[in-house]
Structure 1
Amino acid sequence: MTLLKTCVILLLLTVLFFVLRNMDLLQLNYEENFGIVLKKVTSAPRTVPRTAPHTDNFCTFEPLSLADAKEERMLLDSIAWPETPLLPAPFLFDQTSDPAHSIFTILPGRGGVDRHVGDQLEVMVQIYDFQGNPKKSGGDVLLARLHNRALEAGVAGRVVDHLNGSYSAVFPLLWEGSAHVEVTLVHSSEAVTVLHRLNREHPERVLFKSLFRSGSSSETTSCNVCLRQTNQPQCNYSDLRTGEPWFCYKPKKLSCDDRINHMRDGFNVRLKDKEEKLFQSKVNLKVFIHSSGPANVMVLPPMKGQPEVDQGKGKSGLSGYYYQGVWRSLGGTKVHQFNNSSAISQCLKGKVVHMYGDSTVRQWFEYLDASLPDAKEINQNSPKQTGPYMIWDNAKNILVTYRVHGPPLSFIYVPTSELRYIANEIDGLVGGTNTVVVFSVWAHFSPFPIELYIRRLQSIRRAVIRLLNRAPDTLVVIRTANLRGLTPSESLNYSDWYTLQLDKVLRAVFKGFNVRLVDAWEMTLAHHLPHNIHPGRPIVKNMIDILLSYICTK
């Protein structure tokens, strides 16, 4: 019996030695499947972050699986921008796109002079350089809308790049009366060349840092999705469930465990000689292009036998339009009006609404907070920008929450205890008929490689699929990206061109899944209010009407 016990003990010790000896290898294999490979970085254990030696490759992404790799390739192909010109150093500014010389022309209608509701309007745009010469290649960033200010009507136009310096903008004619064409040059093709290079070569140009504190000692170090090679070891804060990457340089005297917050630390944009000229307000950054003739048309009632408005997306491919200041859907759920607190609270009665993401969805939370006077704020002392927030109406059994998404986050200050990833939060929900999940994640991802955003969305999508598998009646609503107001400096990190790429990827990743979209891109483009990262209240009101129409379909 004594011999048997001795053998068992020796066997257990052997197994324990093998496990301890191979733990690092097992952990490394686990994290490599997350999709970001930082060579020679020692993975952090599940409970205690450890330091990570510097890496030879600055920031290399790899797909999580063969299926993810295939999808990523398809997504990258789908958002591929037309080839833009190389910029010699120094480049010739006079040969770049100039909105002042460029023109648009309304093309004659088919079948006669008259235009009717239900027809299409086509506009031809020709881009010229500052010397007045027509451009011979594409790649400029254009926006187009059709509107009538008196009717508070507006609709986005679909822009087609012919790759030869000319573009088409196509609009559906959806209301009677005057319709005015507006075409905007957001960026020249040369500016796109610069923006593309910045994200490829300088993904760390938005600076972040964290404060480490232990007792009376404190240190601050730089952090980011990827950190450049130095002699300073790194702390690996990548999320062990989703694989979302985040690293900080290790403090000299303190432990990785002593990190207490996350902060933005400014910007470090590196432009080449004269490239700043490509980003000038009132010169070539979000500037209107003038018409070579009339800029408006008169729209007559529908022709006999023709439906008033195509209520499906049809050939326009649009989500909706404004008329009398109200958003009308072009297919899908009919949008109802929730014009007072009573209507909003009645719709939300018995509902739990969880909101996750950036400040654009926090704006929705703030709207509902102001619209539910009987609801009480539960955690009023949370950080203003990040939350978490919660309002509760006991009489009507309404609960609405908001929590910010995980890094990258360009907020000034976030406690590390509040750094959560949307996928993990969704995995913690029970779901059900009375549960609504709303998220918006895009505004902080513009300055980073698009592959990072693809992985974030794939992670969230997997969590959404798990949620809908266990609770199929849960309503999931996604707020898409929207246009911003751009200063020259903002455009280098948060350009509408970056946002457009993110928006296309988001729609593609969730296409065909049981989720609902609120098309913030079209709703900001079609409206007369100036573009703003946080749209004006009339736009937000229409967005909330769509959200509530999804919740209360009858």
Structure 2
Amino acid sequence: MSSSQTIVNIVLSKFSLVQSKTVRNRRSGFSWLRKCVITALATLVLFVFMWVFSASKRISFAIILGAKGSRYVEQHTTQSVHPLNLKSNELDHLFDVYIHNSTKIKEYSNFNASLLTSAATSIFYPVRQQYEVGDTVEIRIYAYDGMGRPQTVGGDFWFVKATSPNKHFRTAARLVDHQNGSYSAYFLAPLAGRLDLHVILGYPSDTVRWLSEVYMKADGCFTWAARYNRFDVGDGQGRCVVKRGLNHLMNKNICIYGANETGMGQSAFICTMPDGFICDDIRSIVSYGQFAGIEQPVNRLIEGKKYLFNNTFYKTQLRSPQSVYHMDITEKSSTGMLSVIYDYKIERPRVLCGDGDSRNSSLLPEGYWLGPKWQSLVCSNTHSWDDLDNVKKCLAGHKIIMFGDSIACQWFRVLERKLGNKDVPNSYYYCTEDETHTVIYKRHVLSAALTATFNFAGLERMFEPEYMDMLNDPDVKYVIFISMSAHYASWNMDSYRDRMRAIRNGIARMRARLGDDRVMAVIKKSQPREQPTFEARVHSNDYVFRQMSRIMEEEFVGINAKLIDTWDLVTSYQEQVAVHMPWPCINEEVDLFLSYICPS
């Protein structure tokens, strides 16, 4: 007999016992009605009992998955979660409960806004009253809080620029944090004349600390959309997170991408799979809705901390009347003539592009603008690559593989133009041909005698190391170009490091397989960008981009990688920065790139 039937019999027996004691002589019709009422009451009691029992099981299951309704839930070991057979809508709930809510977010006590560094009270001025052409100019910044008290620790994030009144000369400055509330900003003075100084408080140190200790360590907060396609089913969509440590989560409706050395190492995309598809039906992974995938997680992270990104503390020009906003550069006293760069005054030895270590350890910025042309302080041989014959001669025998985002697409477009294609659109989209291809690329092949090939690899179906492991052309010299930063600021930085390390190891395998002289790696570091919304001040943060550049510097070692730093170039090009800079700016970046490939 079932347990439910036993409960019914017990309830009925109790009601029968009560009846037998109180009423002995009833008509048979009334007895039948009485039994019906008793049965209905017993059924109701059974329903309530079973509902309570099932609810307790649901609550227990939710607790097992970590659904405590708290941001402090610790990550559970994947072994405790047994393989589940869930439908797509139930799997979305699993994502919300297990993956998102299991993310441990460090709690931060509220800051006292009056103690944060203020653009209204902080001051700056040149350390000397007079500078000559060729000198390294030093601007000293003293940070004060909102109450006018001097700061005694460092950590603020600054932007410093100098421009001539007509904007013909434009330069960013290299910052040094003295860790006592004062900062030095250095730049080269290549021309005589008046300079306007612009000092911008990017973010106070408390904002930087929150970004470093909370935002950059938040794992699995942001969501991407996985697009699936199957010929007999059509299109479908799942949800993805980038996560570390859940690579063994087993479920027939969960797909894990990149959890190996040819993907993302210790990190992976963990995606729900719609009904009727298999994991190999994935076609692309893109942002999952502006609000649901990006803005909603940002608002959850900065709950109670939004003031850290208010206008008062976000990219604000210093405006203290005690600051010095203009200075004059005089002509070289020994000649009395207008002068250009004096190499002996430059603290960084300039070498051929591509020779030696391209990492910047100098106090000077990467270069400066004179009109429409970028003057590199890293390479001594940077020049314009506007002549088609020179470009063809440089690239003869090369195959350039470009991995990256829409910025890499801009570079690809400019390269096409330099190769003589006059019909290249002014677009940083559609550098891929068809999302249904196994390997997505756009190819431009020069004449057979030159054997120069350009592949733009849009990696909707394949990770970079997988692609590189297939490259084995014995007749070319490979140039692996990496530009992967603009869309990665919402990643946990440990996962971003995993991906950079996997790419670095893929390049190392290529060099071991083909020979060091046949594989050249060029890495474009990150750049600042615009933040058009309040949430973008968090998920597309310039400080985070700066840390991504440092990760690249730390990871791309031992493979003779050439790192191209465009931070100063982008910062000083015009008043406003953007993720997609104007085409003349991109042209200068590509000229620098070609100078690395062909230094002589």
Q: TM-score interval w.r.t. the shorter chain?
A: 0.7 to 0.9
Q: Is the 8 A contact 2:140 2:184 kept in 1?
A: yes
Aligned to 1:363: 410
1:407-418 → structure 2 map (5 Å cutoff) = 418=460
| Richer in helix (by share) | 2
Match status 1:390 vs 2:446: no
Match status 1:234 vs 2:263: no
Partners in 2 of 1:379 and 1:515 — Cα distance? Answer: 25
Q: Give how far 1:312 is off.
A: 6.2
Match status 1:175 vs 2:191: yes
Q: Is the 8 A contact 1:382 1:389 kept in 2?
A: no
SS for the counterpart of 1:290 is coil
How large is the RMSD of aligned CA atoms in angstroms?
3.9
Partners in 1 of 2:451 and 2:363 — Cα distance? Answer: 41
Q: Is the 8 A contact 1:38 1:57 kept in 2?
A: no
Q: 2:482 aligns with which of 435, 439, 444?
A: 439
Q: Which amino acid aligns with 2:257?
A: Y
Partners in 2 of 1:42 and 1:319 — Cα distance? Answer: 51
Q: 2:79 aligns with which of 40, 53, 71?
A: 40
Match status 1:313 vs 2:348: yes
Q: Deviations over 1:425-478 (max 9, x none)?
A: 222223666432211122232222222222222222222223233232233211
Q: Which amino acid aligns with 1:388?
A: Y
1:139-288 → structure 2 map (5 Å cutoff) = 139-148=155-164, 150=166, 152-199=168-215, 202-212=218-228, 215-216=232-233, 220-226=237-243, 234-244=254-264, 245-251=268-274, 255-265=278-288, 266-267=293-294, 268-269=297-298, 270-281=300-311, 283-288=312-317
Q: 2:127 aligns with which of 107, 110, 124?
A: 107
Q: Give how far 1:194 is off.
A: 3.3
SS for the counterpart of 2:348 is coil
Partners in 1 of 2:245 and 2:238 — Cα distance? Answer: 13
Aligned to 1:543: 589
Q: Which amino acid aligns with 1:546?
A: L
Q: Is the 8 A contact 2:531 2:537 kept in 1?
A: yes
Partners in 1 of 2:179 and 2:318 — Cα distance? Answer: 18
Unaligned runs of 5+ in 2: 1-74, 84-90, 350-361, 425-429
Q: Give how far 1:506 is off.
A: 0.8
Aligned to 1:24: none
Partners in 2 of 1:324 and 1:55 — Cα distance? Answer: 51
Q: Is the 8 A contact 2:152 2:180 kept in 1?
A: yes
- Alignment TM-score, normalising by the size of structure 2: 0.68
C-alpha change, 1:450 and 1:97, in structure 2 (3 Å) is same
Q: Deviations over 1:192-250 (max 9, x none)?
A: 24323543564333211324566448764321122999997633223444252121135
Partners in 1 of 2:590 and 2:234 — Cα distance? Answer: 47
Partners in 2 of 1:486 and 1:424 — Cα distance? Answer: 33
Aligned to 1:484: 529
Q: Is the 8 A contact 2:433 2:442 kept in 1?
A: no
Q: Give how far 1:333 is off.
A: 4.9
Q: Which amino acid aligns with 1:404?
A: G
Q: Give how far 1:544 is off.
A: 1.0
Q: Which amino acid aligns with 1:105?
A: Y
Partners in 2 of 1:179 and 1:511 — Cα distance? Answer: 39
Aligned to 1:403: 457
Partners in 2 of 1:530 and 1:123 — Cα distance? Answer: 22
Match status 1:522 vs 2:564: no
Q: Which amino acid aligns with 2:490?
A: P
Q: Is the 8 A contact 2:103 2:220 kept in 1?
A: no
Q: Which has the larger radius of gyration?
A: 2
Q: Is the 8 A contact 2:158 2:199 kept in 1?
A: yes
C-alpha change, 1:58 and 1:403, in structure 2 (3 Å) is farther
Q: Give how far 1:524 is off.
A: 1.1
Match status 1:430 vs 2:430: no
C-alpha change, 1:151 and 1:176, in structure 2 (3 Å) is farther
Partners in 1 of 2:346 and 2:556 — Cα distance? Answer: 23
Question: In percent, how many aligned pairs have the same letter?
Answer: 22
Match status 1:452 vs 2:495: yes
| Richer in strand (by share) | 1
1:319-330 → structure 2 map (5 Å cutoff) = 319-330=366-377
- Alignment TM-score, normalising by the size of structure 1: 0.73
Q: Give how far 1:540 is off.
A: 1.0
Q: Is the 8 A contact 2:257 2:263 kept in 1?
A: no
Q: Deviations over 1:473-494 (max 9, x none)?
A: 2332111111111232112112
C-alpha change, 1:336 and 1:371, in structure 2 (3 Å) is same
Unaligned runs of 5+ in 1: 1-35, 45-50, 61-85, 406-417
